[in-house]
Amino acid sequence: MSPSQTTPVLGLNKGLLILDTSANAAGAPRNRERVLVVGGGVTGLTTSWILLDAGYDVTIVSEQWAPATPRITSQIAGALWEYPPAVCGQHTDAGSLALSKGWSLTSYRIFDQLSKSLPAIKMRTANFFFGKPIEDLPDQLSKMREIEASCVQGFVRDPDLIAKHAVNQNAGVVDAYSHLAPVIDTDAYMVWLHDLVEAKGAELVTRRIDGDLLDSEAKLLEAYGAIAIVNATGLNSFAAAGDKSCYPLRGGLIRLVNDGKRFPKVTEALAVTHDNELSSEHEDIVFIVPRNDNILILGGIAQPHKWELNFTMESPEIQRMRERCNKFVPGLENAEFDPVAPVVQGLRPTRVGNVRVGRELRPNRVHGGSSSIVHSYGQGGSGFSFSIGCAVDVLRLIDQVVLEKRTGNFNVEIYRANL
């Protein structure tokens, strides 16, 4: 499957924001057909928004909705838009990486428009620092040049950014660039997204669906009167898609009060990546992002195959992360912790083959024909960055499912990609 070339256009209809994708290349007769979306995180809700605006009726089934206690994964996310590969996640599949670049730029354009009216999204300067000249880092050099040539605004490559942000001289960084990037207040945005799809007529059902969706496909389609199913269950796709390549990338964030009283208020994002494959032993990431007007988040933990959510302020990983950030920007050591949630943690939904946006390849287990399930999962730490772009491609695949069912014509091309 090639990346979608259709970028939604943001508009208004009866006072509600709409994402108009206009083109229906498959020619599917939508006619208010119902789609069942399984998963209530940012991927599921954004996909539902796109489907609703395209003319589908939507039922969303999720075990939890934002705001939740403890927070769902989408509320915990760092949610700094990044052009892939992101600071806290490396792609291992070239095809997925190529697709994700298109998804991220589609999302960038819409987030930029949303930021003009939605307080939960702010366009902030994001600064990226490197321990070598970028010319000595081939992958980073390629990424930088693609950003510079894209729709991303405000690109500046300047080693003087290190001094501008008073980065500790002992931090070991020698090069830097910056650009404008959407930063999402995930708590506020997820509530807004939930309310938006509900206002557009989505039916929200609170329940847990266990097991492989393929096993219960026929019953689910009948029970909800749906013509197709979207799997947006994230890490639960280990079971829901029978995908044993799914695994968690555990992360944790420290939340600080960012009011300028105990240290100079941070208004721009600061990030340092590393240039090796992620492992539990790599802890050189620095991730400092103003979440909203009063909260600063510190990050830099990416631990694969760790399922336990047991971080505390005393955890060695949390303490080392705090020390890295303190050393990077002197003054942070004086910060006050967020009294509501000083530490948050979650499991990024990751996959060996990276992101999967595609049709279910296994035949329907009732009648043996093609399945009506479309998958969107494995976005790792880039769920927000990819959300709108992935949703556009899911819409196109749903259109193909509908057309196939209405005409009886099976299109083998849709089965040649398994991302």
- The stretches of 118-169 forming alpha helices (DSSP H) are 138-148, 161-164
Q: 372 to each of 220, 379, 394, 403, how far by Cα in Å? A: 11, 21, 12, 11
Q: Given CA atoms 78, 81, 84, 87 in this order, what sign does their dihedral have?
A: negative
Tokens read off for 20: 């108009």
Show me where the domains of the chain are located: 9-407
CATH of 9-407, picked from 3.40.720.10, 3.40.50.300, 3.90.1150.10, 3.40.50.720, is 3.40.50.720
Closest Cα partner for 78 from 249, 240, 215, 227?
Answer: 249
- Which amino acid makes up residue 323? E
Closest Cα partner for 154 from 112, 199, 102, 209?
Answer: 112
Residues of each annotated binding site for D-dopa: 348, 381
Q: How many CA atoms lie within 13 A of 365 on its CB side?
A: 8
Distance between CA atoms of residues 52 and 287, nearest Å: 35
Q: 306 to each of 298, 310, 349, how far by Cα in Å? A: 20, 10, 11
Contact 183, 269 (CB under 8 A): yes
pTM of the model: 0.91
Q: What is the pLDDT of residue 29?
A: 58
Q: What is the pLDDT of residue 246?
A: 96
Closest Cα partner for 34 from 210, 173, 226, 285?
Answer: 226
Q: What is the pLDDT of residue 284?
A: 65
Residues of each annotated binding site for FAD: 73-74, 233
Q: What is the pLDDT of residue 22?
A: 64
Q: What is the pLDDT of residue 20?
A: 80
3-state SS, residue 333: helix
Q: Report residue 302: phi and psi, to 5°.
A: -145, 95
pLDDT tens for the chain, 419 residues long, are 444 446 788 888 777 888 887 655 555 557 789 999 999 999 999 999 999 999 999 999 999 999 887 788 888 888 899 999 887 766 777 888 899 999 999 999 999 999 999 999 999 999 999 999 999 999 899 999 999 999 999 999 999 999 999 898 788 899 999 999 999 999 999 999 999 999 999 999 999 999 999 999 999 999 999 999 999 999 999 999 999 999 999 999 999 999 999 998 999 999 997 654 333 345 568 999 998 889 999 988 889 999 999 999 999 999 999 999 998 888 899 999 999 889 999 999 999 989 999 999 998 888 778 999 999 999 998 999 999 999 999 999 999 999 998 887 665 554 444 33
Residues of each annotated binding site: 73-74, 233, 348, 381
Q: What is the pLDDT of residue 419?
A: 36
Contact 73, 348 (CB under 8 A): yes
- DSSP assignments along 252-286, one per residue: EEEEEE-SSSSSPPP-SEEEE--SS---TT----E
Q: Render the burial of 128-161: b for 16+ CB within 10 Å, e for the rest.
A: bbbbeebeebeebeebbeebeeeebeeeebebeb
